[in-house]
Amino acid sequence: MTDQTTEQETEMSEHGPVPWAELATDPATIERYQAKLHHRGPDACAYWTGAISSSGHGKLRAGSRSSGSSRVVTAHVLGYVIAHGSAALSEGHVVRHVCDESSCQQPAHWIAGERVDNIRDYYARAHRAGHALGDVRGPDGRAVAIRDAILAAQATGADVEAAIAVAIAAGNPSGSVQDTLF
Ligand SMILES: [Zn+2]
């Protein structure tokens, strides 16, 4: 799993620890989150179409300035607490992607785990031909390419799925086929 940074656990941002319980139930935050999702069905990766961090994770500003809760958070962590409640996010745990797509917002592709699990998965999978973790652009380059392909296709009325396929293939110059993970 691509979460090699410490950004999830250390999201202190502007004003102390992230108030996940408040953010997870804030209607304006939920609306802003959902507006940046690209859904493709109940099992497929749901790509983030907003800001992407250097680690390939979706980012957005959550909360409200008037209540002092406004801060930039990691999109899939926010999505996790919206889906499962903030109590499901144990201290010291990260939200991992079983699909290894760092910008994916498909709840079925998330699992809470420990950092050591991420590292173990990374070394087990990164060498696989055509795998997301082997993308020559890195997780951020891959996530940005997929996002931009979706937005460009939507803007021009082109086939979004075809655009995603081209964007993914571009990170794998060897042409090998992506492994099936499930
Ligand atoms: Zn996924």
Q: Is residue 175 part of a domain?
A: no
Q: Is residue 128 part of a domain?
A: yes
User: How close is the Cα of 68 to the center of ligand 1, in Å?
Assistant: 32
Q: Which residues contact 141 (CB under 8 A, 6 or more apart)?
A: 56, 135, 171
From the CB of residue 162, how many other CB atoms can be counted at a distance below 10 Å?
A: 11
Q: Is residue 15 part of a domain?
A: no
Q: Is residue 25 part of a domain?
A: yes
Q: Contact, 174 vs 129, CB < 8 A?
A: yes
Q: What is the pLDDT of residue 60?
A: 97
- Domain span holding position 161: 20-169
Could you say which DSSP state residue 89 is in? S
Q: Is residue 143 part of a domain?
A: yes
Domain tally for the chain?
1
Q: Is residue 48 part of a domain?
A: yes
Q: What is the pLDDT of residue 31?
A: 97
User: How close is the Cα of 134 to the center of ligand 1, in Å?
Assistant: 16
Please return the burial class of 126, using the count of CB atoms within 10 Å of its CB with bins 0-12, 13-18 and 19+.
middle
The three-class DSSP label of residue 87 is helix
User: How close is the Cα of 15 to the center of ligand 1, in Å?
Assistant: 31
Dihedral class, residue 113 (left if φ above 0, else alpha if ψ from -120 to 50, else beta): beta
Mean pLDDT, consecutive 10-residue stretches, the chain (182 aa), reads: 46 69 94 97 96 97 87 96 90 87 96 77 70 90 98 98 96 69 48
Angstrom distance (rounded) from CA 40 to CA 38: 7
Q: Is residue 13 part of a domain?
A: no
Q: What is the pLDDT of residue 13?
A: 47
Q: From start to end of the chain, where are the E strands?
A: 37-38, 47-48, 51-52, 58-62, 71-74, 94-97, 110-113
Q: What is the pLDDT of residue 171?
A: 94
Angstrom distance (rounded) from CA 57 to CA 105: 10
Q: What is the pLDDT of residue 4?
A: 44
Residue reference for tokens 């983030």: 48
Find, among 96, 103, 97, the residue nearest to 141 by Cα: 103
User: How close is the Cα of 105 to the center of ligand 1, in Å?
Assistant: 7
User: How close is the Cα of 131 to the center of ligand 1, in Å?
Assistant: 13
Which phi and psi angles does 114 have, rounded to 5°?
-105, 160
